[in-house]
A = this chain, B = another copy of it.
Amino acid sequence: MQPGKGRKGKSLKQRLVLKSSLAKETISEFLGTFIMIVLGCGSVAQAILSRGHFGGIVTINVGFAMAVVMAIYVTGGVSGGHINPAVSFAMCLFGRMKWFKFPFYVGAQFLGAFAGAATLFGIYYDGLMSFAGGKLLIVGENATAHIFATYPAPYLSLTNAFADQVVATMFLLMIVFAIFDSRNLGVPRGLEPIAIGLLIIVISSSLGLNSGCAMNPARDLSPRLFTALAGWGFEVFTAGNNFWWIPVVGPLVGAVIGGLIYVLVIEIHHPNPDPDFETEQSEDKPDKYELSVIM
């Protein structure tokens, strides 16, 4: 039709198109985590900076969940929409993703979360500055650090905090495995992100009180680091009895337990183990949540 335009377009495209599948997946995970942090932590920001007038527990829980939904819709077809090192860890451990990809996925997730925190800081710069007379505080009623990272409730011991993150992430992964298990009830193709969104709503409505239900090392550590550098200071790491490492390590442990429970209690008992499908899948297509256990 328009051959000149077409050719020029193709050649310009060719220069931009990524040949490497790993490069595509890495950039996709970066973008997905970026979206999750801006829209997810943004929901927290709106509630806190408006002192509850334009947001609360409902908009935070729904907002963060739908931020994850949207991040998966943008990245799911390319990188599987992990946007969470604990998910990538479980995928590798259960044979669903090759280990050499793991550092690229996780690196992209941490960078994307950091970039998201910085962007959100920019969008709400005026609001943050006016909120506490120009101060960026970690504790008290004018605190804003918990917009970005999670902090424990005053009553919470470190033991309970660790158990909390393990159990919450355990439920997350166990049910994510169910949602993508086509031999179980089966969420219709293309609606899995919304089922995951509903899952995040219920987990953050039920297990969110202890410490905000991070369930994701990248979602918590990168924005925390950003706040440390952006003016809240490195007390963001010492706060809550050095709480910072709990939402980093706990989710990794919980993800493995959750995956294991689903596999042992439900997955391996399916009448048709469908091994051909699994092999083919892991060779040709991008890594997704579908579970292929090789013990």
- Mark A residues whose CB is within 8 Å of B: 1-2, 5-6, 8-9, 12-13, 16-18, 24, 27-28, 31, 35, 38-43, 45-46, 49-50, 53-63, 66-67, 69-70, 72-78, 81, 119, 122-127, 129-130, 153-157, 160, 163-164, 167, 171, 174-175, 178-179, 181, 183-195, 197-199, 201-203, 205-210, 261-262, 264-266, 268-270, 273, 275, 279, 293-295
> 19 other contacts beyond A50-B209, A66-B201, A127-B210, with CB at 8 A cut-off?
A5-B294, A6-B275, A9-B295, A13-B268, A13-B273, A16-B264, A35-B175, A40-B206, A43-B206, A45-B209, A55-B209, A70-B199, A74-B178, A77-B270, A126-B155, A126-B156, A130-B154, A130-B155, A186-B190
Contact B42 A207 (CB under 8 A): yes
Interface of A is mostly: helix
Which has the most chain B C-beta neighbours within 10 Å: A49, A178, A193? A178
A277 to B107, CA, bound (A): 36
Which has the most chain B C-beta neighbours within 10 Å: A45, A77, A268? A77
Contact B126 A185 (CB under 8 A): no
